[in-house]
């Protein structure tokens, strides 16, 4: 613990259904040793529990929450993080569209600092996204601890869904003066559609979008790496 807070390293990563180079994916995550990994497009179908556990093992972490109940949103943690409660949600289905959802976990670290981590993946349909963002935001607002929320929002800053989720929270990229770092696509980086937001009580120490030979092979999205300081326990 520092004099001003408790360090926590978080990665948010749309892993593209693990359809790309899974060895590169595992190595890219292991190299940065996160305490929390927020996954979009994780296992959500046949044998999803086994596949989620295998993904967690490949990066040296354990499954905290998510999978099929949250429709592919997955929260993984290191052994440093203690998970005290979890919940999953699904957004209402629009006929002919993909199901979407979110995963949430209340956590603590060894010093007693508490936080709620959340992950989601909003629709590509601009008509659906704002309603999904409102449901996601409702759960974030009800969280019992300072929030760390990451999502593939499928839209850029200033869009209605982005604005809804970001309200009252800190955009880690903006705070670190790195909002010019693009997250999609690895083949042709042109958009920032992946974001990580935190409660204002949480300090953003550093933010990066990991553009490396490994991450260009691992998915169609670049991962976000954020170093935070949690407020110390009272």
CA atoms of 230 and 224, how far apart (whole Å): 18
Residue in the structure block whose two tokens are 């996601």: 136
For 187-219, how does the pLDDT look when each residue is reduced to its tens digit (9 = 90+)? 999 999 999 999 999 999 999 999 999 999 999
Query: What is the rounded average pLDDT of the residues 9-27?
Result: 98
For 91-134, how does the pLDDT look when each residue is reduced to its tens digit (9 = 90+)? 988 776 778 999 999 999 988 899 999 999 999 999 999 999 99
| Ordered structural domains, the chain, with CATH | 6-230 (3.60.10.10)
Ramachandran quadrant class, 28 (left: phi over 0; alpha: psi -120 to 50; beta: rest): alpha
**What is the value of pTM for the model shown?**
0.96
DSSP 70: G
pLDDT for the residue numbered 30: 98
Number of Cβ within a 10 Å radius of residue 179: 15
For 38-66, how does the pLDDT look when each residue is reduced to its tens digit (9 = 90+)? 999 999 989 999 999 999 999 999 999 99
pLDDT for the residue numbered 97: 75
For 135-185, how does the pLDDT look when each residue is reduced to its tens digit (9 = 90+)? 999 999 999 999 999 999 999 999 999 999 999 999 999 999 999 999 999
Measure Cα distances from 184 to 43, 71, 160 in Å.
21, 21, 19
- Write out the two tokens for 11: 């990665």
1 — pLDDT class (breaks 50, 70, 90):
low
Q: Are strands 82-90 and 74-77 parallel, antiparallel or unpaired?
A: unpaired
Angle at 50 between CA 44 and CA 56, to 5 degrees: 90
pLDDT for the residue numbered 2: 56
Could you give the dihedral angle defined by the CA atoms of residues 218, 93, 77 and 9, in that order, rounded to the nearest 10 degrees? 70
């Amino acid at each position: 613990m520092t004099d001003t807070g408790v360090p926590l390293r978080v990665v948010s990563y749309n892993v593209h259904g693990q359809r790309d180079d899974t060895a590169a994916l595992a190595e890219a995550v292991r190299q940065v040793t996160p305490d929390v990994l927020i996954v979009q497009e994780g296992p959500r179908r046949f044998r999803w529990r086994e596949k989620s556990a295998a993904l967690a093992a490949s990066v040296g972490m354990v499954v905290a929450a998510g999978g099929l109940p949250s429709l592919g949103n997955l929260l993984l943690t290191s052994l440093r993080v203690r998970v005290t409660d979890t919940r999953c949600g699904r957004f209402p289905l629009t006929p002919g569209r993909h199901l979407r959802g979110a995963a949430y976990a209340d956590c603590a670290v060894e010093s007693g600092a508490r936080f709620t981590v959340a992950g989601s993946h909003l629709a590509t349909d601009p008509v659906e996204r704002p309603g999904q963002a409102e449901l996601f935001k409702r759960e974030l607002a009800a969280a019992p601890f300072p929030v760390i929320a990451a999502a593939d929002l499928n839209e850029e800053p200033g869009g209605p869904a982005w604005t809804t989720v970001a309200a009252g929270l800190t955009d880690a990229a903006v705070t670190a003066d790195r909002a010019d770092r693009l997250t999609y696509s690895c083949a042709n980086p042109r958009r920032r559609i992946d974001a990580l937001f935190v409660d204002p009580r949480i300090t953003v120490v550093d933010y990066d979008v990991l553009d490396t030979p490994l991450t260009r092979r691992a998915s169609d999205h670049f991962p976000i790496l954020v170093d935070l300081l949690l407020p110390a326990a009272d």
